[in-house]
Amino acid sequence: MAIEKSTWTTKAGLAQMLKGGVIMDVIDVEQAKIAEDAGAVAVMALERVPADIRKQGGVARMSDPELIVRIKESVTIPVMAKARIGHFVEAQVLEALGIDYIDESEVLTPADNEFHIDKHRYKIPFVNGCKNLGEALRRITEGAAMLRTKGEAGTGDVAVAVFHARTVLGEIRRLQSMSEDELYSAAKNLQAPYELVKQVAQAGRLPVVNFAAGGIATPADAALMMQIGVDGVFVGSGIFKSGNPSVRAKAIVQATTHYQDAHIIAEVSKNLGEAMVGINISSLPQDQLLAGRGW
Amino acid sequence: MIVGILALQGAFREHEEMLTRMGVPCLQVRLPRDLAKVDRLIIPGGESTTIGKLLVMYDLIEPIRQRVLAGMPIWGTCAGAILLSSKIIDGKADQPSLHLMDIDSRRNAFGSQLDSFEADVNVAGLDAPFHTVFIRAPILENPQGACHTIATLPDGRVVAALQGHMLATSFHPELTLDDRIHRLFLSL
């Protein structure tokens, strides 16, 4: 009997198993355990959450492998970690650590201003960010097995996440109304392969799981993204920069499952303590915006 | 006959799409009141810790147990199989389970995502091998009493078991286009 490891089905399949769930940023073993206890479907192991990367500035890189391994050993749920855009050696290192998913992330300082990682070369699956359908399909072409629409990480302001999720989903709906010859032109405009564009037009959705990320800070934010039409949510600074991380994390997990039930969302939103203070995105200078990174 | 699919988290849409292709009516189950409307229940793949936690929070454990003990057929795939087992090995301490089948489950038994795999496996009662997909999968161990193995890997590790009207598979038939295991479940 032939056993085939690390196939496309197993890579995209793990993301399918994460659907309807919350993936939480954690910076140490204690936070990882709180996240797992709260019902996170996976944790993102990193040294600094985006809010701190913003505050401290400087170059943001892959986290210390020792930290990632310690977090991996402390939980039973999947562990993800971030590599810089285009930094294929950071990706090799993360694969060698035997974690479950790599996020090629604009939250870290990009290592390559032209090329993303050729993700087909890896056994480990990748998740990538996207602002629009063209970017989503280019990442899939490079081998991404999961996507997340980009928000403005570390702000606690959900507006950019909403905008990019609506953009991607709206573009998919427009493709569905196009004739075959219009799809050729659409593929050209999207800068994406025609076959993939045609597949999305026929299915009415992306061929991989798509989460929302960046700026999600409350249960209602998570349910908002789910109702807009994403498959699950990443919460970064929103949990561990809030007054009561454990309670808030549980509430966001419940709101993501019961995203269509306003009574449940109301119930879980009570007495959560202080939300992360946040930064209004419109007050940020252009050079401090992260979501625009990626090509 | 309406098939309920536990939709707390995980690959419930994939089961729904398979059943819809087969022309079988189905319903997503999130709360105890949904359970009253279904005649069978599938617990999909996902994260067993997350699904277990939500089962407890929304008081679903006892209602599901009572329905199954009264004869409602149930099937767990991957995380669902873990939740049906009587003992969870290598899980999180105090991880909730339905404790319905007389078999143990061992979580992440093959390792991390890098050890996820596809393989053709013989399943008792099926005419030809089934192409299986294992994702951070559990294995089943130590079946007792009326619980019996219906599929193993070549090394003997148990990956599917049947106990009367209860079915557990550590792989994901819902990620394939092969509906034979879904038909097997509908025949219980």
Tell me, yes or no, if A229 comes closer than 8 A to chain B by beta carbon.
no
Tell me, yes or no, if A59 comes closer than 8 A to chain B by beta carbon.
no
Nearest-angstrom CA–CA distance, A84 and A104: 6
Residues from chain B that touch A76, judged by Cβ atoms under 8 A, are: 49, 90-92, 107-108
* C-alpha atoms less than 13 angstroms from C-alpha of A76 in its C-beta half-sphere: 23
Contact criterion met (CB < 8 Å) for B120 and A1: yes
Minimal-distance CA residue of chain A relative to B77: A17
* C-alpha atoms less than 13 angstroms from C-alpha of B69 in its C-beta half-sphere: 9
- Going by DSSP bridges, is the β-strand pair A233-235/A22-26 parallel, antiparallel, or unpaired? parallel
Q: What is chain B's length?
A: 188
Chosen from A16, A126, A250 to mutate, greatest number of chain B CBs within 10 A: A16
Contact criterion met (CB < 8 Å) for B136 and A78: yes
Contact criterion met (CB < 8 Å) for A40 and B107: no
Closest residue to B112, CB basis, from A19, A21, A100 = A100
Q: Which residues of B are catalytic?
A: 78, 172, 174
Cβ–Cβ < 8 Å for B50, A39: yes
**What pLDDT is stored for residue A8 in this prediction?**
96
Contact criterion met (CB < 8 Å) for B113 and A253: no
ipTM of the complex as predicted:
0.96
Nearest-angstrom CA–CA distance, B59 and A188: 52
pLDDT < 70 stretches in chain B:
none
**How far from A269 is each of A223, A253, A263, B102, CA to CA, in Å?**
11, 11, 10, 39
Contact criterion met (CB < 8 Å) for A77 and B49: yes
Least Cα separation, residue B122 to chain A (angstroms):
10
Tell me, yes or no, if B60 comes closer than 8 A to chain A by beta carbon.
no
Going by C-beta distance under 8 Å and a sequence separation of 6 or more, which residues neighbour residue A2?
Answer: B119, B120
Tell me, yes or no, if A41 comes closer than 8 A to chain B by beta carbon.
yes
Minimal-distance CA residue of chain B relative to A94: B114
Cβ–Cβ < 8 Å for B127, B112: no
Cβ–Cβ < 8 Å for A244, A271: no
Q: Which residues of A are catalytic?
A: 82
b/e burial code for range A150-171 (CB count within 10 A of at least 16 → b): bbbbbbbbbebbbbbbebbbeb
Cβ–Cβ < 8 Å for A77, A42: yes
**How far from A187 is each of A139, A191, B132, CA to CA, in Å?**
14, 6, 34
Contact criterion met (CB < 8 Å) for A42 and B13: no
**What pLDDT is stored for residue A1 in this prediction?**
58
**What pLDDT is stored for residue A236 in this prediction?**
87
Contact criterion met (CB < 8 Å) for B54 and A21: no
Going by C-beta distance under 8 Å and a sequence separation of 6 or more, which residues neighbour residue B187?
Answer: none
Cβ–Cβ < 8 Å for B78, B169: yes
Going by C-beta distance under 8 Å and a sequence separation of 6 or more, which residues neighbour residue A177?
Answer: none
Contact criterion met (CB < 8 Å) for A14 and B135: yes
Q: Which residues in chain B (19-48) have CB-CB distances under 8 A to chain A?
A: 30, 45-47
Give the distance from CA B84 to its chain's centroid.
7
Residues from chain B that touch A14, judged by Cβ atoms under 8 A, are: 113, 116, 135-136
Closest residue to B116, CB basis, from A5, A41, A254 = A5
pLDDT one digit per residue (tens) for chain A, 295 residues: 589 999 999 999 999 999 999 999 999 999 999 999 999 999 999 998 888 888 888 899 999 999 999 999 999 999 999 999 999 999 999 999 999 999 999 999 999 999 999 999 999 999 999 999 999 999 999 999 999 999 998 888 999 999 999 999 999 999 999 999 999 999 999 999 999 999 999 999 999 999 999 999 999 999 999 999 999 999 988 999 899 999 999 999 999 999 999 999 999 999 998 887 778 878 888 888 888 888 8
